[in-house]
Amino acid sequence: MNFPFLPERASTFSDQIDALGLVLTSLTIFFTAIVFALLLFFGIRYRRGSKVNRAKPQHHNLAMELTWSIIPLILGLAVFVAAMIPYTQIYNPPANAEEIFVIGKRWMWHIEHTNGIRENNEMHVPMGRPFKLTMISQDVIHGFYVPAFRIKRDAIPGRYNTVWFEATRPGKYHLFCTEYCGTNHSEMGGWVYVMTPGDYADWLKRGGTQGANDARVETAAEQGRELFTTLACSNCHGTQDTVRAPSLVGIYNRPRKLLSGQIVNADDEYLRGAIRKPEDHLLEGYGQVTTMPAYRDDQLTEEQVHNLIVYIKSLGGAAGSPVANGKGPRTAPISNSREGSLGRPAHVTSPGLGGSAAPTNGTTPPTGSTAPGTNGTTPANATPGQPSTAVELKSGAQTTSSPSAPTRNTGSTL
Amino acid sequence: MSATALPPAGLPASAGETKSTYLNWSYSVKDWLLTIDHKRIAVLYLISISIMFLLGGFAAMAIRVELTSPHGQLMTSEVYNKMFTMHGVLMVFFFLVPSIPATLGNFVIPLMIGAKDLAFPRLNLLSWYLYTIGGLMALAAMIMGGVDTGWTFYTPYSSVYSNTNVSLTLVGIFIAGFSSIATGINFIVTVHKMRAPGMTWFRLPLFIWAMYSTSVVIILGTPVVAITLALVVVERLLHLGIFNPALGGDPILFQHMFWFYSHPAVYIMILPSMGIISEIIACFSRKRVFGYSFIAFSSLAIGVFGFLVWGHHMFVTGQSMYTSMVFSALSFIVAVPSAIKVFNWTATMYKGQVWFTAPMIYALGFIGLFTVGGLTGLYLASLAMDVHLNMTYFVVAHFHFVMVGGATLGYLGGLHFWWPKITGRMYPEGWAKLAAAISFVGFNLTFLPQFIVGYLGMPRRYHYYPAEYQIWHVLSSAGASVLAIGYGIPVIYFLWSLKYGPKAGDNPWGAVGLEWMTSSPPPMENFHEIPVVTWEAYDYDSMTESEAQADRESMPGAGAAVRQEAARDAEEGHPETGHPAGD
């Protein structure tokens, strides 16, 4: 057995945090030593019956008491500031950070790279490049923790959390779940592999660890684009704002004005909310209700929602990190087999309505506020290959046409 | 108002030796279970929480044995998870929260302020029944299959996913919460309304100040956790979307509400211990506590600021960065009153007559361990540091330093301090000092390695763990065995002392508090005549030289006896021989 004292240091934060730890440990040892020494000294010197000078005992001394109140306060506030600065860095990813999507579920970590490579309980990253982790949970709260990186973030159901890191040293490091999540909590974890850029390129070329047999992996944006088609999103969300719906081209990370008058940024969290609960994200100018169905988690997995967001992001927007692999549309046949890792096919919409002739918002132009009944209707399950009436968006279309504020009074969202 | 509630309403003080104390007043079970005497209720509580402590300790030992191997050896993960939940629930809700208030507080608060009982004796009895019912429900839930949520009951795991006896446990804690509230109200009213003549606020012993602050925190905080836990039960049973995001709820809301109570609950556990330490340090240094008002007001400050720092449990949950900053800054500020206390206790010993009794050794151990516990809390208040350490064994080590090294050591110190008063018997001092020393060593061996393994990255609540952490777990488990011996010895000699311990006398420590002026064990009505207070708290310095001489050289307590005589003279109208107030 060995006696490890410090965890490995493998990210740009590690040294900073350890330096902070050193300061805190010095303070702890210093003050503990003072207290122990004084207790010992007073205890022995003033033990009962000892012949020492006890004249003029003091029962209070304002100056002294203020001293030992104010010095700890000042030291404490200094440590507060020293610890605050790296904290603001850890949770504010740099603009050039590449994205990795993380799903926590009992009891595994599912990792999806933007290039489409998926991993379970393993995460391969190159050193020297910043990565932003966007994470969510499918069930209970989990905690994503890589001790060697000194980073941790809870993965929470129903909302995205982010953290970032830049690995500095190749190696294999523990990945833990730190938020108690049930029976096999202690087995929910795995390894983070930090690779040299060359090794990482090779790994990518092989299509990841599991993808060795696949000639090619679809990127997250490509999968999102397919979903966008199969779910018939493109029936309403075209390249231009229409009476039915705003275009999604170029909206990413740009301000959107809601029906309530609130102005929000169309970031990942907003887009996810708009897909999951469109009725809570109504845009100004599109009426009081929306015809867009709510895609709950029994209809779209978190991974699928995220792929849609990556796709929307690839349509352009502000100051987001560029999608590295948002290349042109693939002509290769769509394989749904990759979706199997989450246990459901890509084209699933509402299980109960699969292929049914529910009123489609493509054929029934909603009349906005006068038709509350259309709220929550489900679109036709457009099977792949079905001709789409709307302009099909090309995933590579970096259209820069900024969306003009729509004025038509029609229900929609996004 | 309480006088009418006392059972022996007509019992004269000179009813004879056989019925002179609260212990021998009656022996029937009914007179114990239906008693409304605060001293008897304190004894009932003492027995109840000791049972809970033993059960919680048993669970802790099971955990420590299991963790000697990285692959587990005795139990499955289900059982392991239920074990640490049982340990946490029993220790926090059924031992630490009621420990000092409901036993020692219940017993000595009326004695210390010169009252015949608490303000609401029947409410006091009710609180014990509520505690017992709640405790039995929690135990029933554990016997019927257990709970596996951890004592924090985080949603949506507790409210949706766990299929163990969560609801029954929560209802048990909910009910026990009312017992806390009842105790808190009782103490507040008692301190306000039932102080003896002359016992002004700033003549109160610091234990009273600490208990008063604790009571305020209890009645403000406990309702919140009761509501929160009730909402979890509602979500489990009725499937309402409160915390479950799938139904539109917010799982983080639970954490806010839970920690709004559970962080102040840390102060519910530690403040009473701080009060005890003030008593013990003053008594065995033969000196007034240094900076009485600083200590008194620091208790209040801790009570107030303690309510404003709950968000430091949530730095990695995704709460706003600015929110985290505010909570972090406030957490550093709340550390200051604790630092003040530590320095003031230390300064109290300066130029004192330090007498190393068993309670004093516990008190010194408390100061040392609480210092470490408090300082390691600063790691967790530091934002970026907390990102690394949150939910690791570092947290486990930190709060055990505060809860075991602090609260429990203070409780044991207080128990040793007041045991002669409670039972009228002395325990063997040598054994008590040995037990205190063993506890101190065992404690450090148990929890110091956990700081290191926590910094290495070992998450808490892990049944299996990477093999490189094993050495620290083995050390920790070894320490836990030593600690168990340190806790086992007092159980034996306390029980022994009940029958064979030498008679303690009224004031074996030569202490000056009012509780030492009545007989040991106290009579049913506490004081044969209500004392009139004309002196400050911890009035050791006004002992005359001859008193001090007697105190030092002859038997312990002799000086105080002389002094007490003088105090009685003062009450009887000879103030010039007594102690002028404010000397």
pLDDT in tens, A278-292: 888 888 878 777 778
pLDDT for B501 = 92
Inter-chain CB proximity B157 and A180 less than 8 Å: yes
Inter-chain CB proximity A179 and B356 less than 8 Å: no
Most confident of A292-296, A388-392, B503-507: B503-507
pLDDT for A216 = 61
Domains parsed from chain A with CATH numbers: 7-29+73-217 (2.60.40.420), 220-414 (1.10.760.10)
Closest residue in A to B248 (Cα) is A158
Closest residue in B to A87 (Cα) is B384
Mean pLDDT on B553-575? 48
Buried b or exposed e, range A295-330, using 16+ CB within 10 angstroms: bebebbbbbbbbbbbbbbbbbbbeebbbbebbeeee
pLDDT for B551 = 57
- CB contacts < 8 A (A, B): 277
Strand ranges inside A254-321, DSSP E? 255-257, 263-265
Return d(Cα A247, Cα A242) in angstroms, integer: 7
- Read off the DSSP letter of residue B405: I
Mean pLDDT on A185-207? 91
Mean pLDDT on B242-264? 91
pLDDT for A334 = 35
A255 vs chain B: nearest CA distance in angstroms?
Answer: 20
- Contact residues, chain A, for B287 at CB < 8 Å: 57, 59
Inter-chain CB proximity A156 and B252 less than 8 Å: yes
* Residues A336 and A222: beta-carbon distance below 8 Å: no
Closest residue in A to B294 (Cα) is A65
Residues whose CB is less than 8 angstroms from the CB of residue B122 and which lie 6 or more positions away in sequence, other chains included: B5, B36
pLDDT tier for residue B559 given thresholds of 50, 70 and 90: very low
Which among B192, B216, B372 is positioned nearest to B307, based on CA atoms?
B216
Q: Within an 8 Å CB–CB cutoff, is residue A351 touching chain B?
A: no
- What percentage of chain A carries pLDDT values higher than 90? 37
* Residues B239 and B68: beta-carbon distance below 8 Å: no
pLDDT tier for residue A261 given thresholds of 50, 70 and 90: confident
Lowest mean pLDDT among A167-181, A265-279, B266-280, B411-425: A265-279
A299 vs chain B: nearest CA distance in angstroms?
Answer: 13
Inter-chain CB proximity A80 and B382 less than 8 Å: yes
pLDDT tier for residue B549 given thresholds of 50, 70 and 90: low
Mean pLDDT score of chain B: 88
Place of tokens 């990102």: B387
Closest residue in A to B77 (Cα) is A183
Lowest mean pLDDT among A152-166, A285-299, B326-340: A285-299
Instruction: Locate B505 and state its tokens.
Output: 């006398």
Mean pLDDT on B249-260? 93
A62 vs chain B: nearest CA distance in angstroms?
Answer: 8
The distance in angstroms from the start CA to the end CA of chain A is: 57
Cα-based angle B1, B5, B6 (whole degrees, multiple of 5):
115
Q: Within an 8 Å CB–CB cutoff, is residue A158 touching chain B?
A: yes
pLDDT for A392 = 41
pLDDT tier for residue B192 given thresholds of 50, 70 and 90: very high
Class of residue A152 by CB neighbours under 10 A (exposed 0-12, middle 13-18, buried 19+) = buried
Better-predicted residue by pLDDT, A292 or B83: B83
Residues whose CB is less than 8 angstroms from the CB of residue A140 and which lie 6 or more positions away in sequence, other chains included: A106, A157, A179, A181, A182, B154, B156, B157, B160, B161
A213 vs chain B: nearest CA distance in angstroms?
Answer: 32
State yes or no: pLDDT of B557 exceeds 50.
Answer: no
State yes or no: pLDDT of B40 exceeds 80.
Answer: yes
Which of A2, A48, A147 minimises the CB distance to B353? A48
ipTM of the complex: 0.86
Better-predicted residue by pLDDT, B475 or B565: B475
The DSSP bridge pattern shows strands A255-257 and A171-177 to be: unpaired
Lowest mean pLDDT among A264-273, A380-389, B245-254: A380-389
- Contact residues, chain A, for B150 at CB < 8 Å: 180
Inter-chain CB proximity B148 and A156 less than 8 Å: no
Q: Tell me: the pLDDT tens digits for A14-40?
A: 999 999 999 999 999 999 999 999 999
Return d(Cα A101, Cα B14) in angstroms, integer: 81
pLDDT tier for residue B543 given thresholds of 50, 70 and 90: low
* Residues B46 and B103: beta-carbon distance below 8 Å: yes
pLDDT for A279 = 84
Mean pLDDT on B438-462? 95
- Contact residues, chain A, for B340 at CB < 8 Å: 65, 68-69
pLDDT for A206 = 80
pLDDT for B545 = 52
A215 vs chain B: nearest CA distance in angstroms?
Answer: 36
Q: Tell me: the pLDDT tens digits for B505-518?
A: 889 998 888 999 99
Inter-chain CB proximity A24 and B245 less than 8 Å: no
Inter-chain CB proximity B379 and A35 less than 8 Å: no
Which of A2, A57, A139 minimises the CB distance to B468? A2
- Contact residues, chain A, for B388 at CB < 8 Å: 17, 147, 150-152
Inter-chain CB proximity B368 and A35 less than 8 Å: yes
Widest distance between CA atoms in chain A: 103
Better-predicted residue by pLDDT, A287 or B44: B44
B328 vs chain A: nearest CA distance in angstroms?
Answer: 7
Lowest mean pLDDT among A52-61, A179-188, B105-114, B362-371: A52-61
A71 vs chain B: nearest CA distance in angstroms?
Answer: 9
Mean pLDDT on B391-412? 94
State yes or no: pLDDT of A346 exceeds 90.
Answer: no
Which of B354, B387, B391 minimises the CB distance to A87? B387
B264 vs chain A: nearest CA distance in angstroms?
Answer: 20
Cα–Cα distances in angstroms (integers) from residue A102 to residues A115, A156, A157, B296, in the given order: 14, 11, 12, 50
B290 vs chain A: nearest CA distance in angstroms?
Answer: 5
Q: Within an 8 Å CB–CB cutoff, is residue A157 touching chain B?
A: yes
The percent of chain B in helix, strand and coil, each rounded to the nearest 5, is 70, 0, 30
State yes or no: pLDDT of A316 exceeds 60.
Answer: yes
pLDDT for A214 = 52
pLDDT tier for residue A397 given thresholds of 50, 70 and 90: very low
Inter-chain CB proximity A6 and B455 less than 8 Å: yes
Among A42, A192, A280, most B C-beta atoms within 10 A, so best to mutate, is A42
Which of B321, B324, B336 minimises the CB distance to A72? B336
- Contact residues, chain B, for A24 at CB < 8 Å: 375, 378-379, 382, 385
SS3 A347: coil
State yes or no: pLDDT of B354 exceeds 60.
Answer: yes
Class of residue B405 by CB neighbours under 10 A (exposed 0-12, middle 13-18, buried 19+) = buried
- Contact residues, chain B, for A32 at CB < 8 Å: 368, 371-372, 375
- Contact residues, chain B, for A143 at CB < 8 Å: 316, 391, 459
Return d(Cα B103, Cα B51) in angstroms, integer: 13
A187 vs chain B: nearest CA distance in angstroms?
Answer: 7
Could you tell me the strand order of the sheet in which A122-126 lies? A122-126, A189-195, A171-177, A142-146, A151-155
pLDDT for A2 = 62
Residues whose CB is less than 8 angstroms from the CB of residue B317 and which lie 6 or more positions away in sequence, other chains included: A141, A154, A156, A161, B252, B255
DSSP string, B37-57: -HHHHHHHHHHHHHHHHHHHH
- Contact residues, chain A, for B342 at CB < 8 Å: 35
pLDDT tier for residue B263 given thresholds of 50, 70 and 90: very high
Q: Within an 8 Å CB–CB cutoff, is residue A69 touching chain B?
A: yes
Closest residue in A to B298 (Cα) is A69
Mean pLDDT on A355-368? 37
Among A18, A25, A68, most B C-beta atoms within 10 A, so best to mutate, is A68
pLDDT tier for residue B65 given thresholds of 50, 70 and 90: very high
Which among A216, A211, A248 is positioned nearest to A233, based on CA atoms?
A248
State yes or no: pLDDT of A400 exceeds 60.
Answer: no
pLDDT for A82 = 93
Most confident of A332-341, A356-365, B285-294: B285-294
Q: Within an 8 Å CB–CB cutoff, is residue A260 touching chain B?
A: no
Q: Within an 8 Å CB–CB cutoff, is residue A297 touching chain B?
A: yes
- Looking at residue B40, its amino acid is R
Q: Within an 8 Å CB–CB cutoff, is residue A36 touching chain B?
A: yes
- Contact residues, chain A, for B386 at CB < 8 Å: 83
Inter-chain CB proximity A186 and B77 less than 8 Å: yes
Inter-chain CB proximity B290 and A60 less than 8 Å: yes
Instruction: Locate A222 and state its tokens.
Output: 């490509």
Instruction: Locate B63 and state its tokens.
Output: 């955990």
pLDDT for B522 = 93
pLDDT for B4 = 39
